[in-house]
Amino acid sequence: MPDTQTNANGERVLADLNALRAIGAYKTGVHKPTFSEPHRQSLDWLVQKLPDAGLSATIDGIGNVLGTSTKAGPKLLAGSHLESQNYAGWLDGPLGVIYALEAARVLNADPSVKGAVEVAAWCDEEGHFGSFLGSRSYVGQVTEAEIDAARDRTGGRAMRDALAEMGLSGRARVAVEPGRHVGYLEAHIEQGDTLESSHLAVGVVTSIVGIWQYRINFSGEQNHAGTTRMAVRKDAGLALAKFCVAIDERFPDTCGPRTVWTTGRITLEPGAPSIIPGGAEMLFQIRDDNPAVIARLEELLRTMADEASAKGPCTVSVEKIRTGAPAMMNAGFQDAIEAASKAVAGGRSIRMPSGAGHDAQMLATVMPAGMLFVPSIGGISHHWTENTADVDIVTGAQVFVDACRRILSA
């Protein structure tokens, strides 16, 4: 395939991304929670743009925007999401939607390209109301009861009320049409520093890691912080601290090369300055794309808990509260992205897993899926300073469009 064919228009891509940034702007980022006014305006903006790519646009009953084509030939679904975390960055989500829009604009109008790119903006990937609600709905995993119960985690607004205010009450939800698509392709900022620190332009995602989450409980004895001698205390908070340090010491010998683990929340009971904590809890998360690694680490965790309980004075229990199977990216799609990188980005790409979750992991349950990463400056994400150099945004768009062309012609 020659490299001289029509490709992404970098200026148009940057202009579109900046147009979306202007809706709900916050400092250099955006504040665009799901079903907020800026989110609604962003969906409408996309609906207005899709016809330029030869696509018919609809917003479905859960807030997914879908652009469909009547062009003959294979269809490749591409997209990401338009809402943001609270007071967060401008590229997390919109980058993938605009790349998909650009690919559709370039390829759908090109009679030499067999088939078309269809565009999706999945609603609430950021989880204001639930977990991947839009893409999960599309793959058939969201019930009406789940929507009935969903509330905004920040303000508590019921999802049904939010849908009504968006004018979406009673609309059907669009579900995957088996056989319609050859697969799904999504671009995203890396949200880490692997590409930047290696001076690379493109990450070819091999898998989206699974997330395993544990609630680790420490049970001691609540007592008076003034009258209880150190020697007889059963301080659940101290037991927790020792356990955190032990994880830090022992996990590196057992983990895989890319495993990450995080204690994100700690609670002491009752949490008063003059009371020795009788109970303590930590939320602990492990991510890896290899379930065998997770299994080893979980066994280590349980062994450590048993050892700590046997040693005393507190008892430790480990409860698994979330199991997330990793999503493998399609091998052919990885090859297409790598070939596109060689063709238009000097081959400055690397294969890597995604440590963060993305809509692609939901789509991967029903069709071949692939992901492309562009560098994140300083690896920063979920913060208004999140950014990517313009040159990297443009290069990424060119690789993405070229990869779509290769997949459609495969």
Beta carbon nearer to a second copy, 70 or 227: 227
Beta carbon nearer to a second copy, 304 or 401: 304
Could you tell me which residues are annotated as the binding site for Zn(2+)?
81, 92, 126, 188, 382
State the nearest-atom distance from the C-beta of 193 to a second copy, in Å.
6
Residue 50: burial class (beta carbons within 10 Å; 0-12, 13-18, 19+): buried
State the nearest-atom distance from the C-beta of 70 to a second copy, in Å.
38
Q: Which two structure tokens, joined as six digits, stand for 38?
A: 């800026």
State the nearest-atom distance from the C-beta of 322 to a second copy, in Å.
9
Q: Which amino acid is at 104?
A: A
Beta carbon nearer to a second copy, 44 or 193: 193
Q: Could you give the CA distance from residue 387 to residue 313 in angstroms, rounded to a whole number?
A: 48
State the nearest-atom distance from the C-beta of 242 to a second copy, in Å.
6
State the nearest-atom distance from the C-beta of 286 to a second copy, in Å.
10
> Which residues form the interface with a second copy (CB under 8 A)?
190-194, 209, 211, 213, 222-230, 232, 235, 237-238, 240-242, 244-245, 248, 252, 258-268, 271-277, 283, 285, 287, 354-357, 379-383
Residues whose CB falls within 8 Å of the CB of residue 407, separated by 6 or more in sequence, listed in order: 76, 182, 183, 185, 332, 333, 336, 370
Could you tell me which residues are annotated as the binding site?
81, 92, 126, 188, 382
Beta carbon nearer to a second copy, 14 or 241: 241
Beta carbon nearer to a second copy, 213 or 365: 213
Beta carbon nearer to a second copy, 45 or 87: 87
Q: Which two structure tokens, joined as six digits, stand for 194?
A: 């692997």
Q: Could you give the CA distance from residue 82 to residue 93 in angstroms, rounded to a whole number?
A: 5
Please report the DSSP string for 275-341 in residue order: EE-SEEEEEEEEEES-HHHHHHHHHHHHHHHHHHHHH-SSEEEEEEEE----EEPPHHHHHHHHHHH
409 by DSSP, 3-state: which? coil
Q: Could you give the CA distance from residue 240 to residue 400 in angstroms, rounded to a whole number?
A: 46
Q: Could you give the CA distance from residue 97 to residue 280 in angstroms, rounded to a whole number?
A: 43
State the nearest-atom distance from the C-beta of 124 to a second copy, in Å.
16
